[in-house]
Amino acid sequence: MMKAKERVMRLLNHQAPDRMPCFAANTSVTYDQMEKVQAFWPEGHEKGETMARQALAAHTVLGLDAVRVPFCQTFEAEALGCKLKPGGSEGIPGIDFPPPYSLDDTPVFPEDFLSRGRIPELLKAVRLLKNELDNDVPIVGGIIGPFTIAGALLETVPLLKASIKAPEKIRPFLEVAEKAGTTLAKALVDAGADIIACEDMTASPMLAAPDTYRDFELEYQKRQFEAIPVPKILHICGNVDLIVEYMGQTGADILSLEPKASALLARERCGPDIILMGGVDTISTLYLMDPDTVRLECEKTIADGIQILAPGCAVAPGTPLENILAMVAVAREH
Amino acid sequence: MEMKKWLEKAAQSILDQDEESAREIAKKSLEDDMDPVEMINDGFAAGIRKMGDLFDRGEVFLPGLIIASDAMAAAVKILEEALPQDRRQEKLGIIVIGTVEGDIHDIGKGIMVTLLRVHGYEVHDLGRDVPIEEFVKKAQEVNADVIGSSAMMTTTQIGQKKLEEALKKAGLRAKVKTMVGGAVATDHWAKRIGADFFGETPADTIDKLRRILN
């Protein structure tokens, strides 16, 4: 049997792995796992040791083929001056009001970015994981896409309005946001991350117009991915059919899709080389249903061309362990 | 200018997503002695309904709908201020609405609030990141017919389920209808947690609301 890292890297090199890899592009931490590894929130969002311990649970408790940090989407935004809203012991931290900038401001990229906020703890977690996993299990480092970070700097509604009314004004924010994600990604790689997963929630066609992705975000996402020397996952939530063609042009090695998006269309629009990741809806199936339903949904998305089985989006922390294990079991049969 | 022209101009300003023009038309139509109720219902609201259709068909996206609904709200405010008290429309129902705790997104909900008001509902907007108790407290205080909750993240959506439980506990569940919305909600989710309905798009929500309150 292959080690997890070999399995994943073979697929990335377009060679056949021993079976289908299964891991998460987004957070997969749940309360059950926290109990099992005795590592809890909020420390898991704040302290490198706890974060590493929780991340390890993805491999030791769930049997996933990669571990992933962090578990929230706030590291870059906090370091850029956004106010953090703590998530307590049950939730994940978010960005609070008011945003640091308005549209006519000039955003600044701080020189000491990597030592700001909780970034040093995040990097520490990756180093600890590298030490612990000894290259057997790949480490996924998470960053946030330019459009989404710009949405934190300006607040999402003003960003979306500007994307139609004064689109050129959002460029300086995308610049700074891209630089933030890229700088963090490089530091994560230096610390030992094998893969970078970029979550760009706000760029989803459910929020932004597809033309905004094509005419603005694509350029910054391309630039970012060009600068990152390891394989890249691009995750955008919801039904991304209208932009999946552009997602395929970003330089991402892997596209992470929710079941709401069409894997068949992604294949058709992005060609044979792009690796498709996804499988099961995190709320309506993984959180709410039973292992049998999880298995059925996984089989369906595999039939549609998914190559890495995964939760479609961030796993809700109350998700039952047996449902996630059912997903992993499906991958083991393929 | 005759009424018909004013109504067309009003609707067009919404379709053009032009807030300044919408305000201007609202003011000028009053100076021209047009009926504010008609201007709202057959002018601006007609425009936003058309925008809603275009959104449902995927011809307009969320940012356009946000801008149009802001323009609509600005125009309606001007026209409503010109209405004598006795001509203000009778409310179709009282709605308490908010984004669940932990979720600071206000995106789709803002549009819904504007549209619900335009369609004649009394709306109490609790804003974003609203603790469950606040929904319950407000609903009791204003004697709400409907409680709407929005969630935009898979990690905060559980709040909608907690709200159902809190309403039961407060003995309020049988007295109110609940609607769920937001990027991550679905029909299945609504059924599963025991909410009365899922509002997928603005038009869908208004439609289901009208049926459920009748």
Q: Does this chain's domain B3-87 share its CATH topology with B94-213?
A: no
- Specify the pTM: 0.92
Q: Is A296 exposed, middle or buried (0-12, 13-18, 19+ CB in 10 A)?
A: middle
Nearest CA to CA, how far is B99 from chain A (Å)?
Answer: 14
The residue extents of the domains of chain B are 3-87, 94-213
Q: Over range A6-31, report the average pLDDT.
A: 96
Nearest CA in chain A to B109: A157
Q: Which chain B residues touch A314 with a CB distance below 8 Å?
A: 153-155
Peptide bond connecting A98 to the previous residue in cis, omega within 30 degrees of 0 = yes
Percent of chain A having pLDDT more than 70?
100
Query: Got the DSSP string for B80-119?
Result: HHTS-GGGSPPPS-EEEEEEBTT----HHHHHHHHHHHHT
Residue among B153, B158, B186 whose CB faces A318 most closely: B158
User: How would residue B184 be classed by pLDDT, with cut points 50, 70 and 90?
Assistant: confident
Q: Over range B188-200, report the average pLDDT.
A: 91
pLDDT > 70? residue B31? yes
Indicate the CATH number for domain B94-213. Answer: 3.40.50.280
Tokens of residue B148, six digits: 């709407």
CB pairs under 8 A between A and B: 83
User: How would residue B104 be classed by pLDDT, with cut points 50, 70 and 90?
Assistant: low
Task: Report which of A72, A63, A53 is spatially closest to residue A23, judged by C-alpha positions.
Answer: A63
Tokens of residue B62, six digits: 């969320």
Predicted pLDDT at B129: 86
- Whole-Å CA distances, A323 to A251, A289, A294, A334: 33, 8, 7, 18
The answer to whether the Cα torsion of A79, A84, A86, A92 is positive or negative is negative
Q: How far apart are CA B133 and CA B127, in angstroms?
A: 14
Q: How far apart are CA A163 and CA A204, in angstroms?
A: 13
Q: Which chain B residues touch A237 with a CB distance below 8 Å?
A: 183
Q: Over range B149-162, report the average pLDDT.
A: 84
Task: Report which of A51, A57, A64 is spatially closest to residue A36, judged by C-alpha positions.
Answer: A57
Predicted pLDDT at B87: 67
Q: Which chain B residues touch A84 with a CB distance below 8 Å?
A: none
For A93-111, how does the pLDDT look when each residue is reduced to its tens digit (9 = 90+)? 999 889 999 999 999 999 9
C-beta separation of B18 from B72 below 8 A: no
Percent of chain B having pLDDT more than 70?
97
C-beta separation of A18 from A305 below 8 A: no
For A63-102, how does the pLDDT look when each residue is reduced to its tens digit (9 = 90+)? 999 999 999 999 999 999 999 999 899 889 999 889 999 9
Nearest CA to CA, how far is B2 from chain A (Å)?
Answer: 31
For A35-67, how does the pLDDT look when each residue is reduced to its tens digit (9 = 90+)? 999 999 999 999 999 999 999 999 999 999 999
Domains for chain A: give ranges and CATH numbers. 4-332 (3.20.20.210)
Q: Over range A245-266, report the average pLDDT.
A: 97
Fold type of domain B3-87: 1.10.1240
Identity of the residue numbered A74 = T
pLDDT > 70? residue A157? yes
Predicted pLDDT at B89: 67
Q: Is A80 exposed, middle or buried (0-12, 13-18, 19+ CB in 10 A)?
A: buried
Predicted pLDDT at A283: 86
pLDDT > 90? residue B107? no
